[in-house]
Structure 1
Amino acid sequence: MKIAPRDIDTFLRSPPPGLVLALFYGQDNGLISERAKSLCAALVPDINDPFAVTDISGDDIASDKAFLYDSAATIPAMGQRRLVRVTQANDQIAEAVKTVIENPPEQAVIVISAPDINTKSKLVKMLDSAKTGATIGCYPDQHRQIAQLARDIFSQHHIKTDNDAMTWITTHLGGDRLISRSEIEKLAIMAGENGHITLAMVTEALGDSASVAASQVISSAASGHISAMGQQFDRAMTEGIAPEAIIRAGIAYFQRLFRLSCMMDNGLNPADAVSQYKPPIFFNEKPAISSQLNQWTSQKVMAALDRLGQAEKQSRSGIHSDTAVAQALLAVCQMAQRRQRA
């Protein structure tokens, strides 16, 4: 069964009694890890108990199709539920999973993390239709989800946040849940109990984060500034920022640009579209985005999104990710230079 986004939190807190297999997949590795850990904590008293919990990898199963079933069928020493955690899985384990579905072991639950597959995967389709299985898609957080994560963390410490500081947080974090949580928790530590978070504090604490560097690369690409984009991309690579993080930032950036462009299609000028957009756009970004809206129509933004999506797929199919991303960014720059809004 496929778990709808609105039901995920409930599922993680109270998994159904007949659950045998749970698959976490998608583009956000941090969210996959966080949700899988939450489910495991709801299934067994101690996720570090070596007598009740077994950790295996997708490669282990691919090399021995019976390994998954044998691991799940092993009866724990104290008679409690057996938990099997599978990491780095892909469609190569589909046959082993099918065996478990057809003959589910007693008192065992298998939690699978598969960051490199999507809804077209054989594994996803198989577990979508399995009565004893569950699939949970894990994708980069949207602004609303990041804002809620920040509010939850800050409220635990009775911390107040200025509006412009929260706007900065929501527009610069979100590519990876664990990174976002880590950055927000860092702010909470800086503010302390009953503290107060300002914009200056946020930019000082998070200003050198990977998300900021990625945003700079994408903004330059959207403006058609090839030289600046190239320099910023090279700097990001030197600093160890993953090309995948840049391409995901690019997709999120152009998704926002698409919504803004649609607002212009309905009669708004760039300044009004930017000022009315929700969640609010960080003030330092407004001039660049307003200018970009004169270069990009909604249809042309869709073409850029298609090109960025191709780069994301290429980076997963054997092409070096830095090459795929660099080529896509160059293509976007060229689109921006030759395409002006009529």
Structure 2
Amino acid sequence: MKLAPRDWPAFLKRPDVSKAGLLLYGPDAMRIADRRKALVEALVGPQGAEEMRFERMAASELRSDAARLADALKAQGFFPGQRAVLVEDATDGLAKSISPALEDWREGDAFLLVTAGQLTARSALRKLFEGAGNAYALAIYADPPGREEIEAMMEKAGVAAAGDAMAALTAMGRTLEPGDFAQLLEKLALYKRGDNEPLTVAEIEALAPQTADDNVDALVAAVADCMVPRIGLAMSRLEAQGANPTTICIGTTRHFRQLHAAAGAGGRAEEALQRLRPPVFGPRRDAMAAQVRAWGLPRLERALMALTETDLALRGGSGAPAMPLLERALIRVAMMRPRT
């Protein structure tokens, strides 16, 4: 039977051990490993806590001894509770070895968890689990997790959030890699331990993984706030990291387009920024709202025209050094903002 991705959070909370097992497959090994670990913990407890109720075997072991799987599923443990057997890195060649084990499975036997890479619709292993009445097959794609899955991860980590903080965490959960997001939740849980104050966007951003994009953000903020001395410093850091000038220009243009959209929406800038997709929250929203009010719609249009011309020059191969060309253009754009 197929298990829909949207049903995974509910399945993880209460695994259906009345069925023989589950096949996890997909192109992203990290996501497969993340779900495998979560399901094993849901079945037998945290890693190391219930070692006597969990058996792991590699696909290569089954190729040489097909009966080993059936023996492992039927074996009786010394400790009470649900048992689980994991077969890792399975391929279509193991379908014939796994099929008898599924057919012979009876309630009370160990739960079988099989992981595999990308499988086509014609895959023998995938057809085996999808066609079995006593097993599930779950496809794991690189799609961002839904709100329900993110909330389940937060609940497991002991992190509570509401309002802008919840929206910010949801946005990060859909952009960060699963492992990075899980680490962020662990850090937030540790940081807020014993603190009864609500989680804030500033705390989330302070603990979020730092990336090369942060230096681009610092440069963009320097341009939008007319902090000219900071532009050269930010450019030097990005050049040392090997950043692409066109990519930097695109990031700056994207920011000014957001400012332009908020300025042209009418009403309060904060409300307009929150309606953007993706929305802007917390201190970043306040900073951008101040930029919208300081620039005004006509100056933002001129800034976008200058950035577009710079982008064309960078792509056109003018022969001029790209980084100095971009730096001068960004300084000109920054100087368009009226000084207060």
TM-score, with normalisation over the residues of structure 2? 0.54
Q: CA deviation at 1:55?
A: 1.1
Q: CA deviation at 1:206?
A: 1.6
Aligned partner letter, 2:115: S
Matches within 5 A, 1:144-159: 144-145=147-148, 148-149=151-152, 152=155, 156=158
Which residue of 2 is the match for residue 181 of structure 1?
A: 182
Instruction: Measure, in 1, the Cα distance between the counterparts of 2:124 and 2:25.
Output: 12
Q: CA deviation at 1:76?
A: 3.0
Which residue of 1 is the match for residue 67 of structure 2?
A: 66
Which residue of 2 is the match for residue 2 of structure 1?
A: 2
Q: CA deviation at 1:194?
A: 1.0
Q: CA deviation at 1:127?
A: 0.6
CA change 1:280–1:8 in 2 (3 A) is: same
Which residue of 2 is the match for residue 141 of structure 1?
A: 144
Q: CA deviation at 1:274?
A: 7.8
Q: 3-state DSSP class of the match of 2:90?
A: coil
Which residue of 2 is the match for residue 131 of structure 1?
A: 133
Question: Larger radius of gyration, structure 1 or 2?
Answer: 2
- Output the aligned Cα RMSD: 4.9
Q: 3-state DSSP class of the match of 1:84?
A: strand
Q: CA deviation at 1:79?
A: 7.8
Which residue of 1 is the match for residue 246 of structure 2?
A: none
Aligned partner letter, 2:207: A
Q: CA deviation at 1:180?
A: 1.0
CA change 1:271–1:125 in 2 (3 A) is: farther
Which residue of 2 is the match for residue 117 of structure 1?
A: 118
Unaligned runs of 5+ in 2: 217-235, 244-253, 255-260, 266-271, 292-303, 317-340
Please tell me whether the aligned partners of residues 72 and 105 of structure 1 are also in contact (alpha carbons under 8 angstroms).
Answer: no
Instruction: Measure, in 2, the Cα distance between the counterparts of 1:76 and 1:194.
Output: 43
Q: CA deviation at 1:182?
A: 1.6
Instruction: Measure, in 2, the Cα distance between the counterparts of 1:270 and 1:119.
Output: 48
Q: Encode CA deviations 1:191-229: one digit per residue, 9 max, x unaligned.
A: 332134444333332241xxx447999xxxxxxxxxx9x
Which residue of 2 is the match for residue 12 of structure 1?
A: 12
Q: Percent identity?
A: 24
Aligned partner letter, 1:187: L
CA change 1:182–1:98 in 2 (3 A) is: same
Which residue of 2 is the match for residue 202 of structure 1?
A: 204
Q: Encode CA deviations 1:55-106: one digit per residue, 9 max, x unaligned.
A: 1123333444333233223333468654212233333432222232333366
Q: Encode CA deviations 1:34-71: one digit per residue, 9 max, x unaligned.
A: 54344444544787444432111233334443332332
Which residue of 1 is the match for residue 229 of structure 2?
A: none
Instruction: Measure, in 2, the Cα distance between the counterparts of 1:188 and 1:76.
Output: 35
Q: Encode CA deviations 1:289-310: one digit per residue, 9 max, x unaligned.
A: xx7xx99xxxxxxxxxxxxxxx
Instruction: Measure, in 1, the Cα distance between the counterparts of 2:215 and 2:65.
Output: 46
Q: CA deviation at 1:17?
A: 4.8
Which residue of 1 is the match for residue 171 of structure 2?
A: 171
Aligned partner letter, 2:170: T
Instruction: Measure, in 1, the Cα distance between the counterparts of 2:153 and 2:45.
Output: 28
Which residue of 1 is the match for residue 279 of structure 2?
A: 280
Instruction: Measure, in 2, the Cα distance between the counterparts of 1:58 and 1:214.
Output: 40
Instruction: Measure, in 2, the Cα distance between the counterparts of 1:270 and 1:143.
Output: 31
Instruction: Measure, in 1, the Cα distance between the counterparts of 2:190 and 2:315.
Output: 44
Aligned partner letter, 1:280: P
Q: 3-state DSSP class of the match of 1:85?
A: strand
Which residue of 2 is the match for residue 99 of structure 1?
A: 100
Matches within 5 A, 1:1-342: 1-27=1-27, 29=29, 31-44=31-44, 48-77=49-78, 82-104=83-105, 107-114=109-116, 116-118=117-119, 120=121, 121-139=123-141, 140-142=143-145, 144-145=147-148, 148-149=151-152, 152=155, 156=158, 163=164, 165-174=165-174, 175-192=176-193, 193-208=195-210, 212-213=211-212, 276-281=275-280
CA change 1:199–1:78 in 2 (3 A) is: closer
Q: CA deviation at 1:150?
A: 7.1
Q: CA deviation at 1:8?
A: 2.5
Please tell me whether the aligned partners of residues 56 and 87 of structure 2 are also in contact (alpha carbons under 8 angstroms).
Answer: yes
CA change 1:92–1:178 in 2 (3 A) is: farther
Q: CA deviation at 1:28?
A: 5.3
Please tell me whether the aligned partners of residues 25 and 32 of structure 1 are also in contact (alpha carbons under 8 angstroms).
Answer: yes
Q: Encode CA deviations 1:149-169: one digit per residue, 9 max, x unaligned.
A: 576468x46x55662x55543
Instruction: Measure, in 2, the Cα distance between the counterparts of 1:232 and 1:122.
Output: 50
Which residue of 2 is the match for residue 222 of structure 1?
A: none
Which residue of 2 is the match for residue 221 of structure 1?
A: none
Aligned partner letter, 2:21: L
Please tell me whether the aligned partners of residues 74 and 110 of structure 2 are also in contact (alpha carbons under 8 angstroms).
Answer: yes
